[in-house]
Amino acid sequence: MSQAKPYLREADVFACLTDAVVAPGDGLPALDRTDAVGFLAGYLDASPRANRIGLRAMLLALEAGPLALGFGARLRRLPSPARHAYLSRLERGPLAPLAQALEALAKLAYYGDDGVMRALGYDPDAVVARGRAVRREEARW
């Protein structure tokens, strides 16, 4: 069994969340043209077991939450305006810290993609090259 298989449902929920949070457009690549969703599997694999279980549980609760709050469908089945309303409601309620943590993770995954960074005018390879040059010049490390 591959490493990604156990996280398929969570990855789908994460994709839905990330798409709602970052709303790609205006020159930024669509979510499926980034490694944002793939980031989740690597993040989960690198996390301690308790953190991995907790994050997976949070994503599955995020998926089921709209049903409990009367939105009539799971997160992935909601139309975009209802998704935004649901996420907004979470951010104003007692679960705000958890919603904000998931939102931050979604932004990290999307905006950490090399293609997204370049589309925003940031060239990570150039920054690394400049850093290496400074270390060489100043005899650091």
> Of 88, 59, 89, which Cα lies nearest the Cα of 74?
59
Instruction: Give the Cβ contact number of residue 37 at 10 Å.
Output: 22
Q: How far apart are CA 117 and CA 128, in angstroms?
A: 14
Q: How far apart are CA 137 and CA 23, in angstroms?
A: 42
- The tens-digit pLDDT sequence of the chain (141 residues) is 344 456 889 999 999 999 999 999 888 999 999 999 999 999 999 999 999 999 999 999 999 999 999 999 999 999 999 999 999 999 999 999 999 999 999 999 999 999 999 999 999 889 999 989 998 888 866
DSSP string for 120-139: TT--HHHHHHHHHHHHHHTT
Q: How far apart are CA 48 and CA 22, in angstroms?
A: 27
In terms of DSSP H, where are the helices of 26-95? Answer: 36-46, 49-68, 80-91
